[in-house]
Structure 1
Amino acid sequence: MSKILIRGARVLGGEPQDVLIDGEVVEAVGSGLSAEGAEVVEADGKVLLPGLVDLHTHLREPGREDSETVLTGTRAAASGGFTAVFAMANTFPVADTAGVVEQVWRLGREHGYCDVQPIGAVTVGLEGRKLAELGAMHESAAGVTVFSDDGKCVDDAVMMRRALEYVKAFGGVVAQHAQEPRLTEGAQMNEGIVSAELGLGGWPAVAEESIIARDVLLAEHVGSRVHICHLSTAGSVEIVRWAKSRGIDVTAEVTPHHLLLTDELVRSYDPVYKVNPPLRTERDVHALREALADGTIDIVATDHAPHPHEDKDCEWAAAAMGMVGLETALSVVQETMVETGLLDWAGVADRMSQAPARIGRAEGHGRPVSAGEPANLTLVDTAYRGPVDPAGFASRSRNTPYAGRELPGRVTHTWLRGKATLVDGKLT
């Protein structure tokens, strides 16, 4: 590979510097750098971040290639500034064996737009009755360290305990979709004033909070790691904060849409706002932002959930739950966290790159922008502001809640180990 000189970039939002890439690594960071024959990228004060890492992505392949494939999903990831994504297990067939996780891992390696780390299922078929092949998936070429039945809760306490005990042996983590199923039967949206007025089945906050409370106690008892997927309520924040104060090894994520949108949007009956967990109240949104800022919530994860047009363009009750998020995540975080003064760009780098890479053990990702480190980088035009146009998405699906909405920030360049995957906003 030729050398690349990024000139005048604000590394983590600091003063402008030059960054020289040589092959797969950063060779130097400083002022007035030069390199004969290097390709020059004029950053003009854009913010340079370590490549983003998403701990919660649905790539759908194998089985639902009408929604997304590993190729289209990783192209969407590169467009959003991500250099690594963790692919959830709710595929068809379910990623509950070494064979399936290796298939997803190899597809990621073949396409090359970002690294793909499969997440293994906790239970066979996501059915909650029998532990999946956790050890075999960990020992496979994919080296799985994160396990989740996301989309379904591991609601049986004994099964959850066994999973925590099993992954402790190799330092793995169980990522829980916290949803007590009996409390959410027929649920269509957040339980509250809006659901009562609309006559839609409510998804109560306690259905999330009760599972989180149980699981942090199980993790403490076992001495294992538990990660809470898409935390969405103020009560959940307080439980995680309490658990951390006791030294329990728990981490948590929040999605961009839960940082910005509220259940008031459901009054439109537009299924684009139907998601699990549901959009919550303004009070919850405020609590989530504060918790992300103070570190109670460790990371932002997209829960990128693509669906074909026919699964969302229908009546509310029949619509699938989920939103795409890879290509808008950083913009939403800039809107909700940076422009509100809750996080600086170094904090964004921690919550969207360094911490998720650490939790998922994504080797080579989430590293400092400094000499000798892998050149996994993202360049962001933070001064840009414009409407979201789903027609320009790289994802195969268009189920975004932000269509036509003005958001700040635009990823202009993404480099994966020194290779450009996005240049001037266009995929290579």
Structure 2
Amino acid sequence: MTQRQIGAIAVFSGYLLLAITVYRWQLFTHFVSTVLLFKALVPIAFVLFCWSVTRLLKWPFWTALLMPLLLETASYFYIRHTIAVNRNASRHEVGVLQKWINYRDVIQFNRHFASYSPDLGYVLRPNSEGVHSSLEYTNAFKINSFGVRDDEASLAHPKLVFLGDSFTMGWGVDQTQTYADLTGSKLGVKTLNAGISSYGTYREMLLFSKMKRDSVQLVVLQYCDNDLEENEARNEPRNQPQVLTAKSFANTATFNRINETYYPMRYTYFFVREKDMLKRIWTSPGQVFGEIGGAISSWMNGRQLAVVTPPDIKTPDETKRHAEYFFKSLAKIRKFYKGNIVVMHLDGRYTRPEMIRAFEEEAKRTGDAHLFFLHTDEVLQAQDYYPIDGHINASGHARVADALVRMIGGKQLLMR
């Protein structure tokens, strides 16, 4: 066997190992040991592939180590460039990096923060604390004994309770930067931030039902588009309750360990997998190199990608469906809480007005005089969202808090 044949076999072996990590990554998500194996195989696959190519080309051995290092460094700095040019832009264009949400650490399944709950699926682990981070933020988290992100004192006779998902919880900001904390500070009242990541309105109702509510004068209820799946499943008699089992929770928490921390070649792996480069380099090489050239050009020129992502505008039928199941969940809250509720809508990367308008129309039909609606689309701008992650940043929380303070004060929704 000639040296060239040996080199070709080595290239194929490296390519095959890389393909396994890209196209069969699910095989590594079931056990802690396989997660650790995956994190080791990814850099090994890249080094082996680069070594086989350099061997075939008769390049020095050290280039096999330099190539992966250069690829990962370039990937990292391209990500930083994308964040920088979009941070203050009037619209966000991050290209394939919008898929990074599938690669970030999900706090409700993080082994340091997550705790299984039979009826809620999960809560934040009582009395836990730690750091949650991703490409655009690093924040300390401290969970009280009730399993929500607030201090222990907030559990005693709060006047204002915030219910919602990761937006309310404060994904991507410090605890003192959340609109829940800021609103309470500006109004001078005790608040309880009961937002938990990925909760829909139905589970927010269940969580609220477990609280002491004798002191509560006002609830701020935040809605997100992804609440619909839970609200529909829990409110439709024909559907089985959408509850995580202990086993499915444990499996998801194990899978999440892949994304909890950085591993070598993680950024390069993301681009290779999400751009399907291992296949497309053979089927459409011109397109692949064109995309790479466009990305490099935007990087070198310090500008956004030359693409326009159309907004996700909900149709009237879609917003009507959201409103239907939101109000079915809200009706269950009304069985044990009759006071004032401020409803607001927040969604990833931008928030449009169609949803909250549909809720307002449904409220007119129900005749609930204690419902009030905050139009966050009128106060938030693109700069108030993290370009890649999609959650609102510290400035977004501050804007929402200011709007809440104006509404609560103007309509006198709280008694001092």
**TM-score under structure 2 length normalisation:** 0.29
Q: Which has the higher strand share?
A: 1
Q: Which has the higher helix share?
A: 2
**TM-score under structure 1 length normalisation:** 0.28
